[in-house]
Structure 1
Amino acid sequence: MRIVLAEDNDILRKSLSFFLESKGYEVDQFSDGKEALEAIETNNYDLVLTDINMPGSSGMEITQYIRQRIQSDIPVIILTSSGVEQTELDSFDIGANEFIAKPVSPAVLLVRINKLLGIRI
């Protein structure tokens, strides 16, 4: 299973990538939303994991692109340090499947990823 991980915090991105790879996932990492979008356009992924606030393109823009421009139903999980309820509601309105507040628990993230991908452990 192949995942896009778009997160501009280097430490978080690298630690989540290491964790997910240790669980058998192939992870393509991006610190810039525009680079993540370009990869999504040209590759097949099973899931997108994106921070909401990033340089290039935001997680919201990435989600809108996936749902509206390429009309894909690929699962999208949005990560954010924002505790604003409206941000979470807006994320779901544009098509995000999950919304996870930072700090991220890798164990909880794994459960949500596996659930979205229909993987039973």
Structure 2
Amino acid sequence: MRIILSEDNDILRKSLSFFLESKGFTVDQFSDGKEALDAIETNNYDLILTDINMPGISGMEITQYVRETIGSDVPIIIFTSSGVEQTELDSFDLGANEFIAKPVSPAVLLVRINKLLKTRA
């Protein structure tokens, strides 16, 4: 299973990538939203993990692009350090499947990933 991880916090991105790879996933990681979107356009991913606040292009813009421009139903999980309820509601309106507040628990993330991938199988 191939995952794209778009997160500008280097420590979080690298630790989540290491954790997911230890669970058998292939992870392409990016710290810039524009670079992540370029990768999404040219590769097939089983899951998109993105932070909401990214340099270049935000996680919300990535979600909107994937749903509306590409027309893909690939599962999307959005991370944010914002505790604003409206942000969470907006992300679901754009087509995100899950919304996880930071700090991200790798164990909880893995459960949510497996749940989303199982419903697609």
State the Cα RMSD in Å: 0.7
Deviations 1:51-106 (A, max 9, x none): 00000100000000000000000000000000000000000000000000000000
TM-score, length-scaled by structure 1: 0.97
Structure ranking higher in helix proportion: 2
1:115 counterpart residue number: 115
2:81 counterpart residue number: 81
2:97 counterpart residue number: 97
1:60 counterpart residue number: 60
Aligned with 2:61: secondary structure? helix
State percent identity of aligned pairs.
Answer: 86
Partners of 1:22 and 1:64 lie apart in 2 by 30
Partners of 1:8 and 1:93 lie apart in 2 by 23
Give structure 1 stretches of 5+ with no counterpart.
none
State the AA in 1 paired with 2:82: S
TM-score, length-scaled by structure 2: 0.97
1:38 counterpart residue number: 38
Q: Which runs of 4+ in 1 moved over 6 A?
A: none
Partners of 1:114 and 1:26 lie apart in 2 by 14
Give structure 2 stretches of 5+ with no counterpart.
none
